[in-house]
Amino acid sequence: MTDLSRTFGKQHVDAESRTRLIRSVFSRVAPRYDLMNDLMSMGIHRYWKRVMCRAAEPSAPGDILDLAGGTGDVARALAGQQRRITVCDPSLEMMQTGRARGHTPVNWLAGSAEDLPLEDASMDLVTIAFGIRNVTRIEQALGEIHRVLRPGGRLLCLEFSRPAAWLRPFYNAYSRLVIPRLGALVSGNRDAYHYLIDSIRVFPDQQQLATLFEQAGFEQVSYRNLSFGIACLHSGTRPGAHADA
């Protein structure tokens, strides 16, 4: 598997530089992030996020962490009675953009997935949408998520993945030719969107990510391809009986 701690797109960098570069990507794209998401995915990211939120439904109301929550898209969709939602993200700019979109009944918390500023066993559900790819030390982040989940708590992780073979040539052409141009046009950040497509290319595929979940101690690990594998929803459970069971 590619060692993500040393890659920033196609560049080879040390772990600290990668983390710094990723922070700067999101601080630059934050004001136009939501618009770019809609344009790049032709709105399909909303459907993928709805699938993730529906998968969260059977969970009891309780404490939910939306990790790498950015502008709070997922948190807004999950918000409901008796749910206490915390968005955690290292980018203040992304969270400020989200807060400016209006009142959202969530707590906004600055922090990295690799070192969560949260108590052990304090969450019933952790969601992370298009975030794990940006984390430099994935194994460490999965360990942290496992730590903050209560026994029986679930992790739902939505991420770009490896599309079906027949789709790959079209998908690759779209990623290479359209996305950076769109990024340059809409957000003035062609480089940031080069990072996006390169980071997808080197990210573990469906099965490799499932294996990382298992190695971090999750049980009932499964995944579901979305849009022929362009995106994938992984889930896993921290072993043990949930207090509400």
Ligand X SMILES: C[S@@+](CC[C@H](N)C(=O)[O-])C[C@H]1O[C@@H](n2cnc3c(N)ncnc32)[C@H](O)[C@@H]1O
Q: Give the residues lining the site for ligand X (CB under 6 A).
A: 22, 26, 67-70, 73-74, 89-91, 94, 112-114, 129-131, 134-135
- Distance in Å, CB of 22 to ligand X, minimum: 5
In terms of CB distance, is 184 or 240 closer to ligand X?
184
Q: Which helix (H) or strand (E) holds 73?
A: helix 73-78
b/e map 110-132, b = 16+ CB within 10 Å:
eebbbebebeebebbbbbbbbbb
Q: Could you identify the residue written with the tokens 């207090």?
A: 243
- Distance in Å, CB of 34 to ligand X, minimum: 7
Residue 82 Rama label (left phi>0; alpha psi -120 to 50; beta): left
In terms of CB distance, is 97 or 152 closer to ligand X?
97
- Distance in Å, CB of 7 to ligand X, minimum: 14
In terms of CB distance, is 21 or 242 closer to ligand X?
21
In terms of CB distance, is 160 or 223 closer to ligand X?
160
- Distance in Å, CB of 245 to ligand X, minimum: 28
In terms of CB distance, is 51 or 240 closer to ligand X?
51
Angstrom distance (rounded) from CA 92 to CA 98: 10
Q: Which helix (H) or strand (E) holds 36?
A: helix 33-41
Strands (E), the chain: 7-8, 11-12, 63-67, 84-89, 106-110, 123-129, 149-160, 219-226, 231-237
- Distance in Å, CB of 69 to ligand X, minimum: 5
Within 118-176, residue ranges assigned H as helices are: 138-148, 168-173
Question: How crowded is residue 190: how many other Cβ atoms within 10 Å of its Cβ?
Answer: 14
- Distance in Å, CB of 243 to ligand X, minimum: 27
Question: Which residue has the closest beta carbon to ligand X?
Answer: 70
Q: Which of 150, 179, 194 is nearest to 11 (CA)?
A: 194
In terms of CB distance, is 96 or 206 closer to ligand X?
96
